[in-house]
Structure 1
Amino acid sequence: MIKFKSIRKSMRSILLCGLVLVLSIGLMACGSTSTSNSGTSSKKKTIAFIPPSLVSPFYTQAVTGAKQEAAKEGFNIKVLAPQTEDDFNGLLKIVEDVITQQVDAIAICTTDDKTMAAVVKKANDAKIPVVVFNSLSPIKGADVYAYVGYDQKQAGAQAAEYLGTKLKDKQFNVGVLEGLPGVFTDNRKGGFVNEAKKYSNIKIVATQPADWQREKGMNVATNLYQANKAINMYYGLSDEMAIGAAQAFKSAGVKDGVTIGIDGNPATLDSIAQGETTATIYTDPKQIGKESIIDCSKALKGEKMANKLDQTKTFVVDKSNVSTYKAK
Structure 2
Amino acid sequence: MKTTRRITVLGTTALAGLAFAGAAAAQDDTMTIGITQNNVGVDSYQTTYEQAFENAAAELDNVDTIVLDAGGDVARQIAQIQDLIQQQVDAIIIWPTNGQAVVPAVRQAKQAGIPVVITNSNIAEEGFDFIASFSGPDNITQGSRSAEIMCDRFKEQGIETEAQIVQISGQPGYTTALERAKGFEDRLPEVCPEVTLVETQPGDWNREKSQRVMESFLTKYDDIDGVYAGDDNMGVGALNAAKAAGRAEDITFVGATNFAVGYEAMGRGEYWGSIYQSPVDDAEAALQTAIDVLNGAEVPFLNYFDTPKITQENMEEFDKPVF
TM-score, normalised relative to structure 2: 0.81
Q: 1:96 to 1:220 in 2, by over 3 A?
A: same
Does the residue aligned with 2:130 lie in a helix, a strand or coil? coil
Give ranges in structure 2 of 5+ residues lacking alignment: 1-23
* CA shift for structure 1 position 157: 1.2
> Matches of residues 185-200 of structure 1 in structure 2 within 5 Å?
185-197=177-189, 198-200=191-193
Instruction: Give the one of 83, 86, 89 matched to 1:97.
Output: 83
Q: Are 2:200 and 1:214 equivalent residues in the alignment?
A: no
**Counterpart Cα distance in 1 of 2:316 and 2:30:** 39
Instruction: Give the one of 110, 115, 121 matched to 1:129.
Output: 115
Q: Which residue of 2 aligns with 1:64?
A: 51
Q: Are 2:189 and 1:168 equivalent residues in the alignment?
A: no
Higher helix share: 1
Letter in 2 for 1:129: P
* CA shift for structure 1 position 193: 1.5
Q: Which residue of 2 aligns with 1:298?
A: 292
Greater radius of gyration (CA): 1
Instruction: Give the one of 257, 269, 273 matched to 2:267.
Output: 273
Q: Which residue of 2 aligns with 1:113?
A: 99
Q: Which residue of 2 aligns with 1:82?
A: 70
**Counterpart Cα distance in 1 of 2:287 and 2:25:** 24
Letter in 1 for 2:167: V
Letter in 2 for 1:140: E
Q: 1:89 to 1:111 in 2, by over 3 A?
A: closer
* CA shift for structure 1 position 152: 1.4
Q: Are 2:100 and 1:149 equivalent residues in the alignment?
A: no
* CA shift for structure 1 position 222: 0.7
**Counterpart Cα distance in 1 of 2:306 and 2:26:** 40
Instruction: Give the one of 240, 262, 286 matched to 2:256.
Output: 262
Deviations 1:219-260 (A, max 9, x none): 001111111121132101122211111111111112312211
* CA shift for structure 1 position 42: 3.9
Q: Are 2:241 and 1:248 equivalent residues in the alignment?
A: yes
> Matches of residues 23-42 of structure 1 in structure 2 within 5 Å?
41-42=27-28
Letter in 1 for 2:301: K
TM-score, normalised relative to structure 1: 0.80
**Counterpart Cα distance in 1 of 2:221 and 2:295:** 57
Q: Are 2:145 and 1:158 equivalent residues in the alignment?
A: yes
Identical aligned residues as a percent: 25
Q: Which residue of 2 aligns with 1:181?
A: 172
Does the residue aligned with 1:263 lie in a helix, a strand or coil? coil
Q: Are 2:305 and 1:312 equivalent residues in the alignment?
A: yes
Does the residue aligned with 1:275 lie in a helix, a strand or coil? coil
Deviations 1:268-298 (A, max 9, x none): 3233233343221112222111111111111
* CA shift for structure 1 position 310: 0.7
Instruction: Number of aligned residue pairs: give it.
Output: 288
Deviations 1:124-150 (A, max 9, x none): 133221111113566425421111122
Contact 1:136 1:151 survives alignment (8 Å): no
Q: 1:88 to 1:194 in 2, by over 3 A?
A: same
Contact 1:168 1:201 survives alignment (8 Å): no
Contact 1:175 1:207 survives alignment (8 Å): yes
**Counterpart Cα distance in 1 of 2:203 and 2:295:** 42
